[in-house]
């Protein structure tokens, strides 16, 4: 009987503009990719098709224990983009043996959508979060580029292939 392979991502570290915020973040919610689709219906079709039409707005949220002042300043500015990197570790198990540890890296660029000054409760951690409007996202697992979205430059790469290349060429942008 062949051993089953199990993979888990455990823990993460957040970097803001290249600086580690180790120990300052509680949780990061990375963007879901909301593909925009339009309904297509025509005579002779028994139903409606949804056709790809682009990407809707992307958002990321970081819940902080309490970030240092430089992080707060970087995340507060609604007109200056912040570079966000989330690094994590993917553990590969074969059966119950750890057979590999692989890097998972998500790079984001975005601007502040809100600046929380926190909420305070006696004897509890501060509840403070940052929401960012994302214009760039790149997900790399063990050196393999899984997904890259660059909204201003009309780039959507999946497994390294720009699926928007012909579109950009047709518009004279590539």
pLDDT digits (tens, 9 = 90+) for 116-171: 888 888 888 787 899 999 999 999 999 999 999 999 999 999 999 999 999 999 99
Residue 61 lies in a domain: yes
Structural domain that includes position 153:
11-41+48-83+105-170
Residue 16 placed within a domain: yes
Domain presence at residue 90: no
CATH of the domain at 76: 2.40.30
Provide the domain count of the chain. 1
The whole-model pTM stands at 0.91
92 occurs within a structural domain: no
pLDDT at 108: 98
| 93 found inside a domain | no
What's the Rg (C-alpha) of the chain?
A: 20
Q: Please say if the pLDDT value at position 1 is more than 80.
A: no
pLDDT tens per residue across span 51-96: 999 999 999 999 998 888 888 999 999 999 999 999 999 999 998 8
The pLDDT of residue 124 is 80
CA distances (Å), origin 19, targets 95, 128, 144, 166, 171: 37, 19, 24, 37, 38
Mean pLDDT of 89-111: 96
- For residue 140, the model assigns a pLDDT of 98
Check residue 156 and give its pLDDT.
Answer: 97
* 97-115/155-158 β-pairing: unpaired
Q: Is residue 57 included in any domain, yes or no?
A: yes
pLDDT score for 13: 96
Mean pLDDT along residues 23-38? 95
């Amino acid at each position: 009987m062949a051993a089953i392979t199990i993979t888990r991502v455990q823990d993460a570290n957040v970097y803001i503009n290249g600086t580690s915020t180790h120990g300052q973040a509680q949780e990061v919610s990375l963007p879901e990719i909301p593909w925009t689709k339009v309904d297509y219906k025509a005579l002779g079709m028994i139903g409606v098709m949804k056709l790809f039409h682009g990407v809707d707005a992307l958002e990321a949220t970081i819940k902080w224990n309490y970030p240092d002042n430089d992080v707060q300043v970087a995340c507060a500015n609604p007109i200056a983009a912040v570079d966000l990197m989330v690094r994590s570790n993917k553990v590969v198990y074969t059966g119950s043996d750890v057979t590999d540890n692989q890097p998972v890296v998500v790079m984001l660029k975005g601007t502040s959508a809100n600046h929380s000054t926190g909420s305070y409760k006696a004897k509890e951690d501060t509840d403070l979060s940052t929401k960012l409007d994302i214009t760039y996202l790149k997900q790399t697992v063990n050196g393999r580029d899984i997904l890259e979205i660059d909204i201003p430059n009309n780039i959507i790469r999946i497994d390294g292939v720009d699926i928007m290349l012909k579109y950009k060429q047709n518009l004279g942008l590539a």
